[in-house]
Copies of this chain bind each other. A is one copy, B any other.
Amino acid sequence: MRFLYLSQGTPPAQDRSMNTPHDAPLYLRLAQHYLGAIESGALSPGDRMPSVRSLTRLHQVSLSTALQACRYLEEKGWLEARERSGYYVCRPRRLSLPPSSEPPVPARIDAAQFLGIHERVSDFLARCEQHSLRLNLAQAFGSPEAYPAAALKNAAVRALRLQPDILVEPTPWHGEPGFRSVLARRALESGMRLTADEVVVTHGCTEAMNLALRAVTQPGDTVAVESPCYFGLLQIVQSLGLRSIEIPTSPQHGMSVEALELALQTQPIRTVVVIPNFQNPLGSVMPDDRKAAIVALCAQYGVALIEDDTYAALGDDEQPLRALKSWDEGGGVIHCASLHKTLAPGMRLGWINGGRWHARIKMLKYAQSRPNDAFLQLTAREFIASAAFNRHLNRLRRLLREQRSAVAESIARHFPAGTRLSMPQGGMLLWVQLPKLRNPRAMFETALREGIRFAPGWIFTNSDRYDNYLRLNCGIPFTPEFEAAIRRLAQIVQEAQA
């Protein structure tokens, strides 16, 4: 987790420790030279930096010094590397924000927090439908341009050619075999060893989470969830007649394992649900040692650990993030994921690996909606099995990083003092902590009336502890309209300040 520690109003030059003396290392002096060019406007955002090889010629430095200089500027956020095409000048990060508050370490877990999230989410959705929309920042997926529409269309046509009867044939039980194989193969990258038979295809991660919870709980049971918690999960929990208990979760390293242990000691918790990678809404990633610890803790207490691993492929770093499931030895972890964010928001393709509950989940899926249609699975398989999928993911990662960074900068520029933000290193969501507001719900209504929709903090909890937070989607291009919406939102927030 990297933070933007610069305080508001501070120009970056004062922070960047680049006014280097002459005895500074050569690469620093070279970097300083080019930073000057950027600040003077000789190199503008979007310009291509001279290639590393040409730097060696121009400045009579070694290849490694030239490379070090570029990497330094990249690390500081002035340059970005684009695959096979060199370094480019970034938009300058003029302003930035302090990170979001860490949750307090609880002395005890409060069990008296079972309000009706279902009504909150329903109310939120109903209000959204009442107002015409200028800009939707409430979603959690990219805009169509972020996904490979043409290639998927071709894959669909190919699938129809390959299996012309696919729309009229019975759907294969538990999922299309080829698609399940590809998923099992890709699971290796997250550290899991699965066979195709252990994968059950579902209607998105949402159905997978429903099945997981139905498999391991009875109505009335208690589920430990993150706080803040993805509102879709709170809704599932309530719709199944379950109770949720919210475990403090850090914007830096995810669910507090210590707080969870306390909860397991004192509450009748039946299962724990976690988004270990790019948590929704925080964007936090659990470090590997905490992932291992939470798996061990749940095994020790004999409770099922359900992971929603939808965002793992969307890190700035190509390095795949490990799934909790990769530490699972006794089958106590249920792994759920989907292609909804990474490949195609129009294809509701998810899957579940049920661990010990695999057979029960298969039957529940059969009873709940029968096997998924084969056609979309075959279409996805055609695409995922090709090299085009990784190329698409690289492009999407870069796009999301750029858009996230542009939105964060705009927030830093326009939002009032007291606004805080921890910068995630992947995914498409920003979780913004606002200064104290007189009436957060009125602020949300005002924005909605102006056609600006965001996900308000209170739908991510059963309590009122996130009333002055909001979640923004950076999956859509940062257009002038987007910038204008942020500016207007900032005014609305300012007017609503306590």
A residues apposed to B, CB below 8 Å: 118, 121-122, 125, 129, 139, 141, 144, 146-150, 152-153, 156-157, 160, 164-171, 173, 202-204, 206-207, 210, 214, 218-219, 232, 235-236, 239, 241, 344-348, 363-364, 366-376, 379
Contacts and interface: CB of A to CB of B under 8 A. Distances in A.
The A interface is mostly helix, strand or loop, or mixed, namely helix
Contact of A206 (B219, B370, B373): B370
A166 B118 CA distance: 30
A207 B164 contact: no
A210 B376 CA distance: 23
Given A165-B144, A368-B239, A369-B204, A346 B171 contact: yes
B346 A168 contact: yes
13 contacts: A118-B363, A118-B367, A147-B167, A156-B160, A165-B346, A204-B370, A206-B368, A207-B369, A236-B367, A348-B369, A348-B371, A369-B369, A373-B376
Contacts of A219: 219, 241
The complex is assembled from copies of this chain, and their number is 2
A144 B210 CA distance: 32
A164 B141 contact: no
A345 B160 contact: no
Nearest to A153: B160
B368 A207 contact: yes
A156 B167 contact: yes
Which residue of A150, A160, A374 has the most chain B CB atoms within 10 A of its CB atom?
A160
Nearest to A214: B239
Contacts of A379: 167
Contacts of A146: 168
